Amino acid sequence: MHTSRPLALVTLLALTLTSCGPKSGGGGGKPTAEEAAAFALRADARLKELWVEQSQAAWAFATNITPETEAAASAADEKAMAGLTELVKEAKRYQDVEADETTERLLKLLMLATPLPAPDDDASRKELAETSTKLNSLYATGKVQYKGETLTLDDVSERLSTSRDYDEQLALWEGWHAVAPPMKPLYTRFAELGNQGAKEMGFGDMGALWRSGYDMPPDEFVTEMDRLWGQVSPLYEQLHCAVRAELVEQYGPEKVNPTGPIPAHLLGNMWAQSWAGLYPEMIPYPDQPSLDVTASLVDQGYDAVRMVKLAEGFFTSLGLKPLPDTFWERSMLTRPEGREVVCHASAWDLSFEGDVRIKMCTRPTMDDLITVHHELGHDYYYLYYYDKPVLFQQGAHDGFHEAIGDTLVLSVTPSYLKQVGLLSEVSDSPEAVINDQLLTALDRVAFLPFGLLMDRWRWGVFSGETSPDEYNAAWWALRDQYQGVAPASPRGEEHFDPGAKYHIPAHTPYSRYFLSMILQFQFHKALCDASGYEGPLHQCSIYGSDEAGTRLATMLAMGSSKPWPDALEAMTGSRQMDGGPMLEYFTPLMGYLKEQNKDRQCGW
């Protein structure tokens, strides 16, 4: 999963709201609606200037990590904080004004635009900016020493995904998690400073601020997440049961408890958020044509540019505009030689006027082909709303932004892959369908509880319910509760295992990824309906459908100018998020899993 805004820009968004305390009037009498509208537009224009400057510093840092670029990024954060203080103080005058709908939404989004609210005083603001940059740098430059080699996260992740040696997997897993303990004191202070800023804005803590960004009261958002998880958790439980049984067979009951949580290092992914690496052992019907196009990509000489061109072609087949020339000139598509970079894939618009690009260390693999589609989904969102005020240049809510590219990936069906020459043969047999569905579920269904628990951990930290001497215990309690995953050995408080996941030190909210998994199937169903498709949802591809493209472009162009139920209705006809389309999509797999698990004790 991938953030759609760079770290330094997220930090800058925090600065925007510095000094926003509880509602209060200013001097000179109550301002008029006209004055509020004029301020909102003036503030939006100033924010654009600041965010462009900040995103440029973030890009320079992320694509060339040096002490100089790190210092420059931190200094840019601090400069932006100071420059915005007076602007935000002025904004407080307009909070009670009854203005037009656009002005009120601009002012609301100004108050909610940041996951990281900075304190009002200069010293704390500077400390927060420096701490944020340092946390990101520690993660980005982390290395693992293993058998005399120095390995990056990319290296370790690749080996972990293919190794089936229990001890080697554990060593690789522990090696990467060892980069996180130095982050713990920084993170503790980071949370204190961010909470200070949130309280100055009138929120109880940063978690309450985050949960307020969904056009509903914060408590209702928690209830909504629980409702959606309740819809889809039965499918996850059946998948967990089948995967655990396979791992018991591979490693034996002395390594994998047949009725307990799964050891975290055995699922082929550093955070057990995707289990797709287990597919070769779990493939139900191995005599069916392979669905992994990695070998085909290699054999046909696909490089990073050609992979992105292929993904762009899917978007343009829907009638969407091609990527601008500057995308190809300015993107970082591969890991450069001779310098440290943040390889975690991300999409950017550095100008907020269509200077879209992606940053990614692309390899010719099916996984990276999927990731390219995901990142281009962000860029196409940027391209369709950049004519709006900058505060409207975001997804209807953050889950929308993450869902767009993955919605199109659901149309990367075997028949589509054959059409573009990456598969030589395709079977529509029931056995081939189960193979395809299992591969998809090992990635997307397996992700669901991880997408839910990441922010639950942080909400506890921010509220004070989880103290620093309980960080790791609380992390693993949630992973056991939601994922049914546990560490292979005790992980005391000398560890800081949450910090081994990018989005914790990068301070990127994570509920968006859970919501995106729900929304992408809901979007897929709506676009398939718009295209005129009739048949099983899992076999639909919207490739080449102008009707689906028109529906998609209409929603993209709205940005966040309207509450998200309006955007959802424009796309799907419904104003409620719904896990039902995901269950419909996986109907064949659910039947298969229940049959496989009928004599097993599921749960943990």
In this predicted structure, what is the pLDDT of residue 16?
Answer: 32
Instruction: Give the per-residue pLDDT at 86.
Output: 61
- Domain boundary among the residues 150, 172, 202 is at 202
- Residue 346 banded pLDDT, cuts 50, 70, 90: very high
Residues 251 and 345 in one domain: yes
**By residue range, what is the domain housing residue 370?**
221-596
Task: Please give the pLDDT value at position 372.
Answer: 95
Structure tokens that stand for 470 in this block: 């309980």
> 65 by DSSP, 3-state: which?
strand
Structure tokens of 224? Answer: 């909504």
**Sequence-ordered list of residues with C-beta below 8 angstroms from that of 496, at least 6 positions apart, any chain:** 180, 181, 183, 184, 187, 471, 472
Q: How high does pLDDT run on average in the chain? A: 91
Which of 149, 175, 202 is where one domain is finished?
A: 202
Q: Provide CB contacts within 8 A for 34, sequence distance 6+.
A: none
User: Is the pLDDT at 411 greater than 60, yes or no?
Assistant: yes
Instruction: Note the pLDDT of residue 292.
Output: 84
Do residue 103 and residue 229 come from a single domain? no
Residue 380, pLDDT > 50, answer yes
CA atoms within 13 A on the CB side of 30: 8
Is 493 part of a structural domain of the chain? yes
Q: Is the pLDDT of residue 44 over 50?
A: yes
CATH assignment at residue 393: 1.10.1370.30
**Could you tell me if residue 177 is inside a domain?**
no
Tell me 537's DSSP state: G
262 and 133 both lie in a single domain: no
Task: Name which of 22-36, 422-436, 555-569 the model is least confident about.
Answer: 22-36
Residue 88 domain-assigned?
A: yes
Is residue 327 pLDDT above 50, yes or no?
A: yes
**What's the structural domain count of the chain?**
2
Q: How confident is the model at residue 481 (pLDDT cuts 50, 70, 90)?
A: very high
Q: Are residues 248 and 365 in the same domain?
A: yes
In a domain, 184, yes or no: no
Whether 129 and 117 have beta carbons less than 8 Å apart is answered as no
Q: Looking up tokens 């949130």, which residue turns up?
A: 198
Q: What is the pLDDT of residue 286?
A: 93
Block residue for tokens 């000094």 = 19
Q: pLDDT grade, residue 120 (50/70/90)? A: confident
| Confidence band of 111 (pLDDT split at 50, 70, 90) | confident
Rounded percentage of the chain residues whose pLDDT exceeds 70: 93
Task: Provide the b/e sequence for 242-264 (b: ≥16 CB within 10 Å).
Answer: bbbbebbeeeeeeebeeeebbbb
Question: pTM for this structure?
Answer: 0.88
Q: How far apart are CA 518 and CA 427, in angstroms?
A: 28
Residues 508 and 364 in one domain: yes
The whole-number pLDDT of residue 249 equals 97
Find the mean pLDDT for residues 248-260: 97
Question: Whose CA is closest to 556, among 372, 351, 321?
Answer: 321
HSE on the CB side for 461, CA within 13 Å? 28
pLDDT of residue 18: 31
Domain termination site, one of 146, 170, 202: 202
In a domain, 458, yes or no: yes
User: What pLDDT band is residue 89 in, cutting at 50, 70 and 90?
Assistant: low
Contact by Cβ (8 Å): 344, 337? no
131 and 228 share one domain? no
Let me know whether 111 and 256 are in one domain. no
Q: Is residue 536 part of a domain?
A: yes
Query: In which band, very low, low, confident or very high, does the pLDDT at 291 lie, cut at 50, 70 and 90?
Result: confident
The answer on 225 and 121 residing in a single domain is no
* Together in a domain, 106 and 255: no
Is 258 domain-assigned? yes
Higher pLDDT, 15 or 120: 120
20 and 130 within one domain: yes
pLDDT higher than threshold 80 for residue 579 = yes
| Residue whose token pair is 């940041």 | 114
**Are 281 and 428 found together in one domain?**
yes
Q: What is the pLDDT of residues 437-457, one digit of tens each?
A: 999 999 999 999 999 999 999
Q: Residue 292 — left, alpha, or beta (φ > 0 → left; ψ -120 to 50 → alpha)?
A: beta
For the cut 60, the answer to whether the pLDDT of residue 389 exceeds it is yes
Nearest to 500 by CA among 487, 512, 482, 517: 487
Alpha helices in 465-579 (DSSP H): 471-478, 511-531, 546-558, 564-572
User: Is residue 479 in some structural domain?
Assistant: yes
> What is the rounded CA–CA span in Å between residue 150 and residue 156?
10
Q: Quick one: 316 and 455 in the same domain?
A: yes
